[in-house]
Chain A
Amino acid sequence: MTKFFATTALVTVLSLPVYAAQPAEGEKLAEDQSLSFWILDAIKTLDPQLTESRTDSDMIRQLFEGLMTQDDTGAMVPGMAESHDISDDKLTYTFHLRDAKWSNGDPVTAGDFVYAWRRAADPETASEYAWFVELMNLENATAVVKGEASPEELGVTAIDDKTLEVKLSKPTPYFLKTLDHATTYPVPQKVIEEHGQQWTQPGNLVGNGAYVLKSHDLGVKATAVKNDQYYDAENTIIDEVNFITVNDQNIALTRYQAGEIDWFNLIPAGQYPKLKEEFPDEAISVPWACSYGYVFNLSEKGPEALKDLRVRQALSYAIDRDIIVDKVLQGGQKPAYYWTHWAMEGFEEPEIEMANWTQPERMEKARELLTEAGYGPDNPLKLKLMYNTSEDHKKIAIAVQQFWKAIGVELTLENYEWKVFVDKGNNQDFEVQRYAWCADYNEASTFLDWFRTDGDNNGMWSNEEYDQLLADAATEENPAENYKKMEQLLIGDMALAPVYHYAQPNMIKPDLRGVPLDNVMGDWYAKELYRVAE
C-alpha cells in the first residue's frame, strides 16, 4: 500500500461533477420556490472569519463557498476548487480553482483565499475562531495567531489566480474536511477595504455563494436571493431563502403549522413522538454530530472523591441513559457509552464494557464500587452538578439526581446562566459539569481533541497514551483504530460520563425536497433543495 502511494505522487484526487439539486423523474416543480428556515437566535454576524455560531454559518453557507462543499451525505465534494493534488509527504496541497465569479462579477481568485485565511489568523482581526486555522495545521498558524509571525508567513500562497498552494505543519487526515467551514471561505478584499466593518450589510455584501443577501432585519428575518453570477446558477432551483428568527421553539412550531416556516429543525424535548404520530411525513429525526455528558473535575480544585476511579465509574454506571433518551428527550437521540458521536465518518464503535450490561447490572456494580470506595449510608457521597440555564438540561439533571440518589449520592443541582457557567468551567470551579460538543468537521478527532492534556478539557483529565494516540492519528492511514483505543482509555478512566448522542428532530414541509438528512453535520445548501407541486 505504501509503495503504491509512493509511486503515484501528486495524484489528482477529486475531479467530480458539480453537486446540484436533482428533482427525481416525474416530480413537478412548484411555482413558488422560496424557502423559510427557522433560526432560534438572531444572526450575530455574516462575516465568515468572525462568526462562531452555527446559526450564522447556516446563512453564510448560502452566501459564500469554500474550496470544498458537501454532498447530501456530508461527503466532501469540489466547491471553488475543481480538483486538488496532495504531495507525497501529505504536507502540501495544491488546489485548482474553477472559473467562478463574485456576486459583483469579479473573478474569484486564489488570492481571495489567501486574503481570507490570513485575515482569520491575523491578530488584528481578533477572530474568536482564529484557533480553527491552527486546527487546520497551516504552516506557522500558531505563531501568526499569537502575533509572533506576520500573517504573510501563514502557509497559504497563490501560485497564480487559479492555483492555491497550502502548506501544513504536519500531515492532517481531516484537513480537507475543514475546507467547508465558514472560517475558510474566501472574502472580497476590495469590498472589505471599502466598507470596513459594514461590509456585511445588505447592498454592501459581495459573496461567491449561490445566493446573495437581499435584506437583514436583525432578530426578525434575513433574506437571500439567487445569485445570477454563481457558476451553477442554472441548476439552482430555490430562488429565495428566508431565515426567520423565532426565539421560542413552541411559537416556532405554531408558525410552522401555520405555514410561515418550511423547515424547523429543533422540536422541543418530549414533543417529537406526538408530532410524529400526527404528521408522520413531516416529523423526521436524524442523527446530529453532537454529544452530551457529565465531566468530572479531576483538577486540584475538584473534590477528593472524584479522584477515585471507582467513584467515577459508579456515577457513570448509575445513569439510566435509556430513560433520558426515551422518556425525557424523546427525539430520536441515542444513549452514549463513549464520547464521539456514533455517526461520525470513518468512526468505528469501540468495545465498551458497560454498554453491554443491563441497567440493574450497572446499578449493582455502581453500589459495589461506591461501598468499596468507602461511601455508604453513614458516609454519603455529596456532590454538586453544574448546568447552564435550559429546560432540557434541567430535566436531565433532575433525572440524574434521582439515579444517583438510588446509589446513595446526595447531589445538589447548580444552575448558572451561560457566561457564568462557561467561566466556572474554564476555571475548574465546579465538581461535575454538564458538557456538550458539536463537531467542527466530520471526523472523530473533533470530539477527542477536547480531552488532550493541553486541550480545552475543563476536567483536567490527562493521559500520555491518549495524547500520543491522538498525535499519531494525524499520520495514520486509517486513524479509526487510534480513535477506538482513545475512547477505551477515556471511558476506562471515566474522564466523563457520556450521556447521549444528539439527534435533530425536524419538521419539514412535505413539498420541500432534497433536505440532506444523511449529513450528520446538519450542514445544508439551499441550492440543493427544491419544492414540488402538490
Chain B
Amino acid sequence: MLAYVLRRLAVAIPTLLLLIVISYILMHFAPGGPFSKDREVPAAVLANLNAKYGLDDPLWKQIWDYLYGIVVHFDFGPSFVYPDLTVNQLIAKGFPVTLTYGILSFLLAVLVGVILGVTAAIWHNSWLDYLAVGISIGAQVLPNFVMAPILLLIFTLWYRLLPGGGWSFSDPTFWIMPVIALATSYMASITRITRSSMLEVLGSNHIRTARAKGMPERRVILRHALKPAMLPVISYLGPVFVSMITGSVVIDMFFSTGGIGKSFVDSALNRDYAVMMGVTILLGTLTILFNLLVDILYVWIDPKIRY
C-alpha cells in the first residue's frame, strides 16, 4: 500500500511538470498578450513591459526561469494585470474563500444527497421515494447560475435576510447563499447515484442472506448495504470535491466572493500569464492529490480491491 502511494506520488511530479510546460506553451500561442490594448501600447513601453516580465526571453528560458522560481523560492511571480499583487498574494486571498464555501457545499451536498438517496431506496416506490426523486430532479434542473439569482431575489431583495454578496470569514450569513447555490445540483446527482446503487445492493444475494438469518433491518442496511452502495458515490465524489474546492466562476461572479474561480477565468481572458499558471498548478496539484485519495479510500471500503 505504502509502495503504491509512493509510486503514485512519484508519477505525480512529472505529470505536474508536463502540465506546466504544456500550459505555458499553449498560453503563449493564444492570440493577444497581457499588454494588447485597444489603444496600442507604444513600442518602447511594450518593450519595457516585456522586459519587466521576462517575456522577451526565448520560450524555453521563460519556462525554465518560471520553474526555477517556483521550485527554489516558491514564487509564482507578479501578476501582469494586477500590478499591486503577486500571484502568491492573489491565491492567498482567493483560495481560502473558495476552500471555505467549497468544503461546506460539499458537506451539504453529500449529507443531504446520501440521506435522500438512501431513504428513497429503502422505501422504494413509496411517497418518500417520490419526494426524494422529486427534490433531486428539481435541484438538477436548477444549475447554480439559475439558483444564484433566485436565492438573491428571495433572501436579499424580498426578505432582506442575507447580504446579496461579498465575503467575510467572521460572518456566516455571507456563506449561506454561495453554499446552497453551489451544492444543489451536486446534491441531486449524489441522491440519484446513491438511490440506484442502494437499490442494486439491496437486491443482491448477501443482503437476502443477512435478512434470512434474521438480522434486524437497521443493521442490514447500516452494516451490509451502505458500504458497498457507497462505492459508485465515492468515485463520483473525488472529482466533485476537487471541482468544488477549486472554485466556481458562477458563484464568484454572482456573489462577489473574491474566490479563485473568477480569478482563474479572468486570468485566461486577460492573458495574465502568471496568475493563469499559478492557478493551473494549484488546481493540477489538488486534482492529482484527491484522485490518489479516492483510490486509497476504495481499498478501505472494498476489500476486493488491492494494489
Contact = CB atoms under 8 A, between A and B. Distances in A.
A196 B163 CA distance: 36
Contacts of B252: 219, 247
Nearest to B160: A258
Contacts of A246: 165, 256
B84 A47 contact: yes
B157 A127 contact: no
Given A123-B48, A219-B252, A198 B84 contact: yes
A254 B156 contact: yes
Interface string A196-220: 0110110000000000000001111
Contacts of B45: 123, 126-128, 130-131, 145
Contacts of A422: 32, 36-38
Contacts of A221: 166, 256
A423 B83 contact: no
A456 interface: yes
Given A221-B166, A419-B32, A147 B44 contact: yes
Nearest to B32: A419
B141 interface: no
Contacts of B166: 220-221, 244
A124 B81 CA distance: 17
Given A147-B48, A257-B157, A456-B40, A219 B263 contact: yes
B interface residue count range (under 10 / 10 to 19 / 20 to 34 / 35 or more): 35 or more
Interface residues of A, number: 51
Contacts of B254: 247-248, 251
B293 interface: no
B82 A44 contact: yes
Interface string A254-266: 1101111000000
A220 B48 contact: no
B216 interface: no
Interface string B142-174: 000000110011001100100111110000000
Contact of A247 (B31, B44, B51, B262): B262
A420 interface: yes
A134 B39 CA distance: 14
Nearest to A144: B44
A45 B258 contact: no
Given A220-B167, A254-B152, A425-B38, A247 B83 contact: no
A70 interface: no
Contacts of B148: 251
Interface in A240-277: 244-248, 250-251, 254-255, 257-260
Interface in B43-57: 44-45, 47-49, 51-52
Interface of B: 30-33, 35-42, 44-45, 47-49, 51-52, 78, 81-86, 90, 93-94, 148-149, 152-153, 156-157, 160, 163-167, 252-254, 256-258, 262-263, 266, 269-271
Interface of A: 42, 44-47, 50, 52, 123-124, 126-128, 130-131, 134, 145-147, 197-198, 200-201, 217-221, 244-248, 250-251, 254-255, 257-260, 417-420, 422-426, 435, 456
In the complex, the 8 A-B pairs of residues with the closest C-beta atoms, listed nearest first: A419-B32, A220-B258, A423-B32, A126-B48, A146-B44, A255-B164, A219-B258, A247-B253
